[in-house]
Amino acid sequence: MTLSSSELEAALIAQAQRGDRQAYGELVRQYYASVVNVAYRLCGDSDQAQDATQEAFLKAWLNLPSFRPGTSLRNWLYRIAVNAALDALRRERKTIEAAPDDLPLTDPANGPECELLQRERVHLVRGALLSLPEASRAVLVLREYGELSYQEIATVLEIPIGTVMSRLNSARAQLKRLLEAQRWSLEMEYV
Amino acid sequence: MSEHVTDWLNAYHDGELRGMGLQRVESHLTACAECRVALEELRALSALLRQTPPEAVFPSAEHFAARLALRLPRHAGLVPARNVWLELGGWLATLGALAVWLFLNITVWVRSAFLLALDAGLLANLPGLQPLPLQMNWVAALTFVWGDQLGLPGQLVLSLLNDVHLFVIRSQGMLFSELLLMLLYLGGLALWWLRQSKSSFSA
């Protein structure tokens, strides 16, 4: 008999709760990419994001016995990671640095102009995101990068669903204004 | 044309609208070019955010998991032993409250039926079943000794005290049971809360 992915995850969680490091390693591998992405979009700094991600997974391990089976591990990890990322931000404010020149953002075959444009866009998006207030940014990041529903965001951030909606509206409106101010034409790029 | 649906466009774009709200936004969008443009802008913004890669390169999941494994504390990750007494106590308190509630209700109904039958004279011939006395012994004694000297106000006060005593006698069993029921209920609630607070975690 084969186990479904949710049953497999439940079995891994149960094993990890009993202290099985290998099972926990499996869970870490499964959720690392999404957790580090959310942390990075919140912090805007790769070092801070990696530190916050590591702290989140360590904290999760320590508190895994109190994790309630049947609830979403992903959302629980997001909650810990968001708190860790916001703590990291408050501890250490960093200025936005330019992207390293050797970072492969696009296929070099597309040409230097395309690569330059992509680099500019990446930098612009990161800057615009970081200029949002932390509370709005957390909601927007969980929606766009965490792909959580409004109800899930409300649970993760422990705020009412009405607040999720208003913060999301204001975050997107502000982001749009910022990008427009930078003469960034969304239509031209993505149509 | 109906009022713009700007406030609901985000929820619509995120697939969070249902029923009437969804219908209202959809029907408005078919008629309003301005809101359609606003929706397209929202879609473009989401696409831009999601398709923009991070400005950094992260270690692979495998590498991260291996590095994390070295840092995991040795003794963490053990499920705490279940507190059998706590769980048993919670169940017993709940069952006890239910049993007391049942007992109380049955007793009240049976007692009411008997009192009704007594008042109607149906049980007059049964030995040992007499209505409760209407005057307490200490009131009777006081009336016998000082009845003439008490006057009307004194007799009224005495009669009032007699009624209060009668009420207490008749209701004390009920009050005690109600109190016990309340304590059991609150006890069960406290144990449940204790269990929940032990098993929940807010990071």
Helices vs strands, H then E, count in chain A? 9, 0
What Cα–Cα distance (Å) separates residue B167 from each residue in B106, B132, B139, B182?
21, 11, 14, 21
Please tell me the predicted confidence (pLDDT) of residue A57: 95
Q: Identify whether residues B131 and B170 lie together within a single domain.
A: yes
Range of the domain at B12: 1-54
CB distance B44–A125 less than 8 Å? Answer: no
Please tell me the predicted confidence (pLDDT) of residue B57: 84
> Please, which pLDDT band fits residue A122 given cuts at 50, 70 and 90?
confident
Q: Does some domain include residue A125? A: no
Q: Does some domain include residue B61? A: no
Give yes or no for a contact between A53 and A87, defined as CB atoms under 8 angstroms apart. Answer: no
Q: Does some domain include residue A23? A: yes
Q: What distance in Å separates the CA atoms of residue B6 and residue B3, rounded to the nearest whole number?
A: 9
Q: Identify whether residues B42 and B137 lie together within a single domain.
A: no
Instruction: Please enumerate in sequence order all residues whose Cβ is within 8 A of that of B191, keeping only pairs 6 or more positions apart, or say none.
Output: B86, B89, B90, B93
Range of the domain at A39: 5-91
A-B contacts at Cβ under 8 angstroms: 142
Chosen from B13, B25, B48, B55 to mutate, greatest number of chain A CBs within 10 A:
B55
Domains identified in chain A, total number? 2
Q: What distance in Å separates the CA atoms of residue A185 and residue A121, rounded to the nearest whole number?
A: 11
Q: Identify whether residues B126 and B167 lie together within a single domain.
A: yes
Domain boundary among A61, A91, A121: A91
CB distance B48–A121 less than 8 Å? Answer: yes
Q: What distance in Å separates the CA atoms of residue B119 and residue B133, rounded to the nearest whole number?
A: 13
Per-residue pLDDT of chain B (203 residues; tens, 9 = 90+): 568 888 899 999 999 999 999 999 999 999 999 999 999 999 999 999 998 888 778 899 999 999 999 888 865 545 555 667 777 777 787 787 788 778 877 877 787 777 777 767 777 666 665 555 577 788 888 888 887 777 888 888 888 888 888 777 777 767 777 787 788 888 888 887 877 665 544 44
Q: Does some domain include residue A31? A: yes
Q: What distance in Å separates the CA atoms of residue A42 and residue A36, rounded to the nearest whole number?
A: 10
Domains identified in chain B, total number? 2
B201 touches chain A (CB under 8 A): yes
